[in-house]
Amino acid sequence: MQNFEPTGAAAAMPGSAVPQIKRRLVISACLLIPLFYLGLGAAFGLPLPPFLTGDNAMWCGIVQLVLTVPVCWLNRSYFINGCKSIRAPGPDTLVALSSGAALVYGIIAIFTQDAPQELFLPSAAAILIFAAACQLLEVRFKAQAMAPLHSLAERIPETACVLRSRQQYTVPLNEVAVGDIFLIRPGDVMPVDGVVIEGETTVDESALTGAAAPVAKHKDSTVYAATANQGGALICRATRIGPDSTAAQLVHTVQTTAAAKVPLSSLADKVRSVFVPAVIGVACVVLIIWLLLGQSFAFALARAISVLAVSSPCVLALAASAAIMSGASVGAKHGIVFKTAASLQSIGTLHTAVLDKAGTITNGEPEVVTIVGTRSVPAKFLLGMAAGLESQSQDSLARAVMRKAAAENIKLSAVKDVTILDGQGLTGKIAGKVMAGGSAEFIAAQCELTPDLQQAGEQLAADGIAPLYFSLDGHAAGLIGVADAVKPASKAALDALKALGLDVILLTGDSRTNADRVAAQVGLDDAHVVSGLAPAELEAELRRLQTNGPAAMIGSTSAAAALACADVGIGMGAEPLPAADVMLLRDDLADAAAAVRISRAVDARIAQNTRMALVYSALLPLLAAGVLYPLNFVLHPIDSVILMTLFVAWLLSGTARLNSIDPKPASQSEPQKEPAE
């Protein structure tokens, strides 16, 4: 079910047109078989019924005409569109002219010639049928490329279970408003984007991001439309609905990218305004030249019709647009959204990958990385009491301690009489004893810090880890080290970018100590780390790096300004990020390398398609005009349209191989190439 409709170019995406074109082709082909037999059978020595030969030869022409007219009627759209575009002629104009010329000649020949050698009526029908076959190939290709997105849209349920005044109401999806509270039962598919306000579960987000592993959800987690609840019930608040949901935006963005005109497509549009009239002119010249050379009108007309039938300016545009569509579809299946066709192509040409630290290389939130207890207060007890004390605070370090306690299933100690001193620490009573937590200076005022704790804290601080000191009843109780931890997959992701030939740079406003700690864990040396940058300085440094070549900025919301300045902005996560040109929905840095691989594979396919399209456009019209006639080789109009159809089929089948590319090969750092043809 789709609770949104694509607009503009995206609305033209095919699917329902396939059965209609198929019916047209089947009926036309059934008429073409006897038409071929009557029109061309004699040339192959096939016998004709006696009542259609000899003095009754005109009846043979009439029967061919009777078979041809229904084919023309079924495919009348070519004639209608060709006439409408006569002032700006396009491919349909060439089809209409070539088929129409053959039809008119056949009609005239039937009634004016006693024994016409060739009526060209089979050619008139065949041109229309093979033009429709090319259209079917293109429409089916587009439908198959966009199939994953259509499946995603269809996953969104038609109704939602909304909670109003503690009562459950099942309402149509278009009646859900932002701020509504809705219930998600086990096994349900999310109808809209929202925030969890009650409950815990795991959610299958593979339809949206391509990630195979379920994602844990709890209070304040974000859930997305079209993802499936695999665990317990959730109560959520709607944040984005209908066309504003992440799934709807993904479908719309990818469809728009697939339908966008790339440089070669735009070139083809410009060429078409000159190309089609030129082809018509060339066909007329070919007709006149062969007549002047003494050939029959039928022979000359056949050469002119062949030139019209084999020529199309759309071949060049199809060479690029089909590859772009496949690349956009492959990216979407792996949680990579290219917002524009230009971003899909340009990301493969990058020289430098610039990364933000927080939320990109690291998790973006502080985590407990070490706990140092004392003889009187073991680490486990320290964590329980510290979490109880920090539960009264709202800063990020306090939340990290509480998350660690929850992960270790440690019960929080009950705390009373809490006092918070901003920027220093806090105190409270646990079982009647005063407990304090905060900076070294704050705790030193409460008790005497032991040399071991002081040394451990200093070492943590030197490593870029924030030490939180604690005292209990006037004695040192230990410390907890908190830091923004590096994501487990970050080093492998950066190695993959390096293997693709990119210069990887870390830019951050954080201190040199923290930057060096992170850089050491992901394999970056000092020359590739720039720290302590203010926002304006970060943008200036990015512009300096761009002088070496195209640079991408990879980051999250905090790096929005830098994303906008980069040649390609790559955003992390499923949250909307207008400044980004490419979105990595899985929040997985390894997808940046995958995006580069997709781009390079698409560019390679475009280059190959374009070379072949140029060869086709230069060679086939010459053959159709009869340049090899001295060698007794000429193209019949039917041969021309068959070659045209075979070329389009080859081009699309080769481009479809892009869909089989795995942009994240398990043990391959170099960009994966297309399967050999």
Q: Are residues 515 and 441 in the same domain?
A: no
Q: What pLDDT shows up at residue 673?
A: 43
Mean per-residue pLDDT over the chain, rounded: 82
Q: What pLDDT shows up at residue 598?
A: 93
Q: Are residues 340 and 431 in the same domain?
A: no
CATH number for 390: 3.40.1110.10
Q: Is the predicted pLDDT of residue 317 greater than 90, yes or no?
A: no
The β-bridge relationship of strands 466-472 and 475-486 is antiparallel
Which is nearest to 127 in space by CA: 85, 75, 82? Answer: 75
Q: Please check whether residue 520 lies inside any domain of the structure.
A: yes
Examine the fold and report which residue of 469, 486, 503 is the final residue of a domain before the chain moves on: 486
Give the DSSP H or E segment for 470: strand 466-472
Whole-number Cα distances in Å, 310 to 82, 84, 650, 670:
16, 21, 15, 40
Examine the fold and report which residue of 486, 513, 548 is the final residue of a domain before the chain moves on: 486
Q: Are residues 561 and 585 in the same domain?
A: yes
Q: Are residues 447 and 542 in the same domain?
A: no
Q: Tell me how far the alpha carbon of residue 516 is from its chain's centroid.
A: 35
Local confidence band at 260 (pLDDT 50, 70, 90 cut-offs): low
Local confidence band at 182 (pLDDT 50, 70, 90 cut-offs): very high
Q: Are residues 532 and 504 in the same domain?
A: yes
Number of domains in the chain: 3
Burial 494-526 (b: 16+ CB within 10 A, else e): bbbbbebebbbbbbbbbeeebbbbbbeebebee
Q: How many helices (H) and strands (E) does the chain have?
A: 22, 22
636: helix, strand or coil: coil
Catalytic (active-site) positions: 356
Local confidence band at 62 (pLDDT 50, 70, 90 cut-offs): confident
Local confidence band at 560 (pLDDT 50, 70, 90 cut-offs): confident
Q: Which residue has the tokens 């209608």?
A: 80
Local confidence band at 302 (pLDDT 50, 70, 90 cut-offs): confident
Q: Is the predicted pLDDT of residue 630 greater than 60, yes or no?
A: yes
Q: Are residues 443 and 525 in the same domain?
A: no
Q: Are residues 479 and 525 in the same domain?
A: no
Q: Are residues 407 and 397 in the same domain?
A: yes
Q: Is the predicted pLDDT of residue 164 greater than 90, yes or no?
A: no
Q: Please check whether residue 373 lies inside any domain of the structure.
A: yes
The β-bridge relationship of strands 362-372 and 167-172 is unpaired
518: helix, strand or coil: helix
Q: Domain containing 346: what range?
A: 336-361+487-591
Q: What is the dihedral of CA 589, 591, 595, 597, to 10 degrees?
A: 110
Terminal Cα distance for the chain, rounded: 37
Q: Are residues 480 and 375 in the same domain?
A: yes
Q: What is the dihedral of CA 641, 642, 648, 650, to 10 degrees?
A: -160
- Pairwise CA distance, residues 251 & 126, whole Å: 38
Q: What pLDDT shows up at residue 675?
A: 42
Are 352 and 551 in contact by the 8 Å Cβ rule? The answer is: yes
Q: Is the predicted pLDDT of residue 147 greater than 70, yes or no?
A: no
pTM: 0.72
Q: What pLDDT shows up at residue 12?
A: 40
Are 255 and 148 in contact by the 8 Å Cβ rule? The answer is: no
Q: Are residues 407 and 355 in the same domain?
A: no
The pLDDT tens digits of the residues spanning 470-481 come to 998 888 889 998
Q: What is the DSSP string of 311-375?
A: --THHHHHHHHHHHHHHHHHHHHTTEEESSHHHHHHGGG-SEEEE-IIIIIEEEEEEEEEEE--S
The pLDDT tens digits of the residues spanning 495-530 come to 999 999 999 999 888 778 888 888 888 999 988 988
Angle at 240 between CA 238 and CA 242, to 5 degrees: 110
Local confidence band at 585 (pLDDT 50, 70, 90 cut-offs): confident
The β-bridge relationship of strands 551-555 and 568-572 is parallel
The pLDDT tens digits of the residues spanning 97-124 come to 888 888 888 888 887 765 556 778 888 8
CATH number for 551: 3.40.50.1000
- Pairwise CA distance, residues 532 & 23, whole Å: 67
Q: Are residues 476 and 513 in the same domain?
A: no
- Pairwise CA distance, residues 502 & 554, whole Å: 13
Q: Please check whether residue 283 lies inside any domain of the structure.
A: no
Q: Is the predicted pLDDT of residue 84 greater than 80, yes or no?
A: yes
302 CB-side CA count, 13 A: 21
Q: Are residues 571 and 498 in the same domain?
A: yes
Local confidence band at 599 (pLDDT 50, 70, 90 cut-offs): very high
Q: Please check whether residue 369 lies inside any domain of the structure.
A: yes
Average pLDDT over residues 412-423: 83
Local confidence band at 288 (pLDDT 50, 70, 90 cut-offs): very high
Q: Please check whether residue 354 lies inside any domain of the structure.
A: yes
Higher per-residue confidence, 52 vs 304: 304
The percentage of the chain sitting over the pLDDT mark of 70, rounded to a whole number, equals 88
Average pLDDT over residues 220-249: 87
Q: Please check whether residue 400 lies inside any domain of the structure.
A: yes
Q: Please check whether residue 409 lies inside any domain of the structure.
A: yes
Average pLDDT over residues 146-159: 76
The percentage of the chain sitting over the pLDDT mark of 90, rounded to a whole number, equals 14
Average pLDDT over residues 380-391: 88
Are 482 and 369 in contact by the 8 Å Cβ rule? The answer is: yes
CATH number for 176: 2.70.150.10
- Pairwise CA distance, residues 673 & 677, whole Å: 11
- For residue 632, give the DSSP letter: T
Q: Is the predicted pLDDT of residue 306 greater than 60, yes or no?
A: yes
Edge to edge, what strands does the sheet with 222-223 contain?
167-172, 159-164, 181-184, 234-240, 193-198, 222-223
Q: Which range has the top average pLDDT, 51-60, 252-261, 302-311?
A: 302-311
Q: What pLDDT shows up at residue 69?
A: 92
Q: And the tokens for 315?
A: 């071949």
Which is nearest to 494 in space by CA: 348, 345, 354? Answer: 354
51-55, 384-388, 618-622: least confidently modelled range = 51-55
Q: Tell me how far the alpha carbon of residue 577 is from its chain's centroid.
A: 16
Q: What pLDDT shows up at residue 271?
A: 58
Q: Please check whether residue 249 lies inside any domain of the structure.
A: no
Backbone torsions φ then ψ of 308, nearest 5 degrees: -65, -40
Examine the fold and report which residue of 244, 259, 290 is the final residue of a domain before the chain moves on: 244
